[in-house]
Amino acid sequence: MNVEVFNKLLNRILEYALIFFMAMMVFSVVWQVFTRFILNDPSVFTDELSRYLLIWIGILGGAYTFSIKRHLALELLVSRLKTRNQHVLNIVISCFVLLFSSVALVYGGWNFMMTTLHHNQVSPGLSIGGHQLLIGYVYTVVPFSGVIICYYACIDILKSIYQIVR
């Protein structure tokens, strides 16, 4: 399997995961409104479920938008540079993204996730199968998305290097 096929597969998985999480969040909010205003007996788990799904959608969505190059970018400077210098600037930017995502998201996210798991922090209103959800599982999205961003930053660096030496 070559890199482009793997990238398409990874993007497709991210797309479907984001669609699924968004649908779950919409259903959760609609259910909350229905139980609160129609049944006058609000559901206890939907508020936290929606909050955690929003976290996952936001962070995974950031990784996905980085992969398809739809993230916030300042093109004014880049468009005025020569093609070679654009690739050099892309390498520098991708190196900073790689540094940030590896330190803050992967390393920091992993430590934060493990700390919350070690201290057995639980969600006050969300239980699965009679067991309280450990908050650390909610934070698994941070290092996971960090790894995805690191992967795409490395791919961008390699593509830019290839364009320079070509």
- The domain containing residue 127 runs over which residues? 3-165
* Number of folded domains that form the chain: 1
pLDDT confidence bin for 128, thresholds 50/70/90: confident
In 21-146, DSSP assigns E strands to 122-128, 131-134
Q: Are 90 and 152 in contact (CB under 8 A)?
A: no
Q: What does the pLDDT look like over 96-109, one tens digit per residue?
A: 999 999 999 999 99
Give tens-digit pLDDT for 19-75.
999 999 999 999 999 999 999 988 888 889 999 999 999 999 999 999 998 877 777
Phi, psi of 140 (to 5 degrees): -60, -20
Residue type, position 53, single letter = L
Give the Cα separation of 141 and 139 in Å (integer). Answer: 5
Q: Find all residues with CB under 8 Å of 102, minimum gap 6, and list them.
A: 146, 150
In the chain, the percentage of residues whose pLDDT exceeds 70 is 100
